[in-house]
Amino acid sequence: MTISFDLAENSVLAQEHYNRIAREQMRPIARDADTHEHELPESWVEWYWLHGRDNVGDVNAPSDGFIQVCIQAEELCWGDAGLYLRTPTAALGGSAVAAAGTQEQRERFLTPFRGSGHPIWGAMAITEAEAGSDAAAIQTTAERDGDDYVINGQKIFCTAGEGASQVEGGFVVVWATVDKSAGRGGIKSFVVPAGTPGMELVGLEKKLGIRASDTATLRFENCRVPAANLLGSAEVKKRDSKTGDKGFKGAMATFDASRPIVAAMAVGVGRASLDFLLEELDRQGVSVRFDAPPSELTAIERDVIEMIGELQAARLLTWRAASMMNKGKPNNLEASMAKAKAGLAVTRITQKAVEILGPPAYSKKLMVEKWMRDAKINDIFEGTQQINQLIVARRILDYSSSMLR
Ligand SMILES: Cc1cc2nc3c(=O)[nH]c(=O)nc-3n(C[C@H](O)[C@H](O)[C@H](O)COP(=O)(O)OP(=O)(O)OC[C@H]3O[C@@H](n4cnc5c(N)ncnc54)[C@H](O)[C@@H]3O)c2cc1C
């Protein structure tokens, strides 16, 4: 078996392309977008909609598939993670439609993202006040009424929830139970198009980091959607059925695709800090001797070498999880490993950069304080550090979720 770590020519072109976007379009406005939380970064949104979606390289040339998606996330988050999450795309909502929807649903909901005359967003709303890590505990209901479902409940911390719920052409994928007595088997996801009566934007979170990103609370009050907007099968398997939570597992499979992307985002933020740290050390005449014997390394050299190692390990785990998707292999274990490693690595790297650079790095004059704030979310959303470690343990030990909680 040969293992190659070389990227396809198209991926190298993509790396350069997205790095240029990050450098020229994102970095110059990143501080301003962070300061003006809840204001739409119009210049970025309009620019990305008009120019950022151009094909890169030869579309018929060999490609690294999903690894290229991770490269895009890393480069754009090296530019700015908050703006990346504000980018008009189908985002997590799109992943849910792609993972659980029919071909007809994919065409109906995702085509506008190619043809709309104005920027649009997709989002996914799972989390509720009493249901986060334990997604099976959601209380939002969807009741069948003729040819429709009527949704009632409240969702919190919905990334891109403002754009997706308010701007025509966008949509929110909402998780709701159609039958509480069926437990996980009753949980289904529904596409709620922007502007649907009964879907209300209740508020926006004021956050520590990724402040350019809109994180919404959405209320659903007798919100009516066609039954054709239910993603996947409407069939409810009861709790005691052997295949009782198959539909739920299908919905959870969305995370196997999204976790490598979040891991790549983390690598991007970590690399931003590390690049700046190395430039700054170089400017101050401090060089890192990678070939010095361990007993002779300075504390800073040891820290920097460890940071570089952490970052590279996180990236390799991320690309492994992505390459398994390219091959159609189950990657639940590898996606969680990558997400857990990258979430921890970015938190440590960005904090270390602030520590090594000293008080100026705590000031808003430098971006490192912002990267430290932007880092932590990668260890929280799409499954916290603890939840991803739990998944890794379950997969390695071959335990079910009820055996290891
Ligand atoms: C900025 C932001 C954006 C977000 N975007 C979205 C979004 O777009 N869509 C969406 O649906 N949600 C979103 N979320 C929600 C996010 O996914 C949840 O916050 C996360 O899953 C944790 O859930 P929780 O907040 O309920 O915490 P809890 O589940 O209450 O967890 C609290 C703590 O307990 C730990 N814990 C919980 N269960 C266990 C266990 N079994 N073993 C060990 N430790 C455990 C957790 O790791 C955590 O440290 C977002 C959150 C934030 C902050």
Between CA 165 and CA 100 the distance in angstroms is 20
- Same domain as 222, residue 105: yes
What proportion of the chain, given as a percentage, has pLDDT over 90? 83
The predicted structure's pLDDT at residue 239: 55
The predicted structure's pLDDT at residue 26: 98
Task: Indicate which atom in ligand 1 lies nearest the CA of residue 127.
Answer: 11
**DSSP 8-state secondary structure symbol assigned to residue 124:** E
| 241 has pLDDT over 60 | no
Give the DSSP per-residue string, 281-315: HHHTT----TTS-GGG--HHHHHHHHHHHHHHHHH
**Domain end position, chosen among 203, 237, 271:** 237
In a domain, 12, yes or no: yes
- Same domain as 100, residue 37: no
In a domain, 176, yes or no: yes
* Residue 242's pLDDT band (cuts 50, 70, 90): very low
| 166 has pLDDT over 80 | yes
Residues 6+ apart with CB under 8 A from 250: 99, 100, 232
The predicted structure's pLDDT at residue 135: 86
> Which range among 4-13, 185-194, 305-314, 381-390 shows the weakest confidence by mean pLDDT?
4-13
- Same domain as 401, residue 263: yes
Residue nearest to atom 12 of ligand 1 (CA): 127
Range of the domain at 62: 1-87+253-405
In a domain, 144, yes or no: yes
Between CA 339 and CA 259 the distance in angstroms is 6
In a domain, 390, yes or no: yes
For ligand 1, mutation pick of 86, 133, 205, 214 (most atoms within 8 Å of CB): 133
Q: Once rounded to an integer, what is the mean pLDDT over residues 311-337?
A: 96
Tokens representing residue 122 in the block: 């997709």
Which SS3 state, helix, strand or coil, does residue 273 take?
helix
- The per-residue pLDDT of the chain, averaged, comes to 93
- Same domain as 401, residue 265: yes
- Same domain as 141, residue 17: no
Q: Do residues 349 and 378 make contact, with C-beta atoms less than 8 angstroms apart?
A: no
- Same domain as 266, residue 203: no
- Same domain as 304, residue 279: yes
Residue nearest to atom 50 of ligand 1 (CA): 157
Beta bridge partners of 123: 172
Q: If you measure from the C-alpha of residue 7 to the centroid of ligand 1, how many angstroms do you get, rounded to a whole number?
A: 34
* Residue 33's pLDDT band (cuts 50, 70, 90): very high
State the DSSP H helix or E strand holding residue 344, giving kind and residue range, or none if neither. helix 332-357
- Same domain as 161, residue 189: yes
In a domain, 172, yes or no: yes
Q: If you measure from the C-alpha of residue 386 to the centroid of ligand 1, how many angstroms do you get, rounded to a whole number?
A: 10
* 114 or 337, greater pLDDT: 337
Number of domain units in the chain? 2
Between CA 216 and CA 221 the distance in angstroms is 16
Between CA 371 and CA 380 the distance in angstroms is 15
Residue 383, classified by CB atoms within 10 Å of its CB into exposed (0-12), middle (13-18) or buried (19+), is buried
| 153 has pLDDT over 90 | yes
Q: If you measure from the C-alpha of residue 320 to the centroid of ligand 1, how many angstroms do you get, rounded to a whole number?
A: 25
Query: Is there a catalytic annotation at residue 382?
Result: yes
Which SS3 state, helix, strand or coil, does residue 150 take?
strand
- Same domain as 233, residue 112: yes
First to last CA, the chain: 37
**Domain end position, chosen among 173, 206, 237:** 237
For ligand 1, mutation pick of 38, 384, 399, 401 (most atoms within 8 Å of CB): 384
H helices of 203-326, where? Answer: 246-252, 254-283, 299-326
- Same domain as 178, residue 279: no
CATH code of the domain in which 2 resides: 1.20.140.10
What proportion of the chain, given as a percentage, has pLDDT over 70? 97
Q: If you measure from the C-alpha of residue 373 to the centroid of ligand 1, how many angstroms do you get, rounded to a whole number?
A: 17
Residue 150 to residues 156, 199, 223, Cα–Cα distance (Å): 19, 11, 5
Tokens representing residue 349 in the block: 């790297």
pLDDT tens figures, 174-187: 999 999 999 888 99
CATH code of the domain in which 131 resides: 2.40.110.10
Helix pair angle (368-375, 254-283), 10° resolution: 160
Residue 263 to residues 121, 179, 388, Cα–Cα distance (Å): 21, 34, 12
| 243 has pLDDT over 50 | no
For ligand 1, mutation pick of 92, 127, 373 (most atoms within 8 Å of CB): 127
Residues with CB under 6 A from ligand 1: 92, 123-127, 132-133, 157-159, 207, 215, 377, 380-381, 384, 386-387, 390, 405
- Same domain as 322, residue 192: no
In a domain, 243, yes or no: no
Q: Once rounded to an integer, what is the mean pLDDT over residues 264-291?
A: 96
In a domain, 14, yes or no: yes
**Domain end position, chosen among 210, 237, 264:** 237
In a domain, 242, yes or no: no
Q: Once rounded to an integer, what is the mean pLDDT over residues 289-296?
A: 94
The predicted structure's pLDDT at residue 244: 46
Residue nearest to atom 11 of ligand 1 (CA): 126
Q: If you measure from the C-alpha of residue 107 to the centroid of ligand 1, how many angstroms do you get, rounded to a whole number?
A: 31
- Same domain as 306, residue 215: no
The predicted structure's pLDDT at residue 149: 98
Residue 110: name the closest of 87, 89, 86 by CA: 89
Q: If you measure from the C-alpha of residue 301 to the centroid of ligand 1, how many angstroms do you get, rounded to a whole number?
A: 35
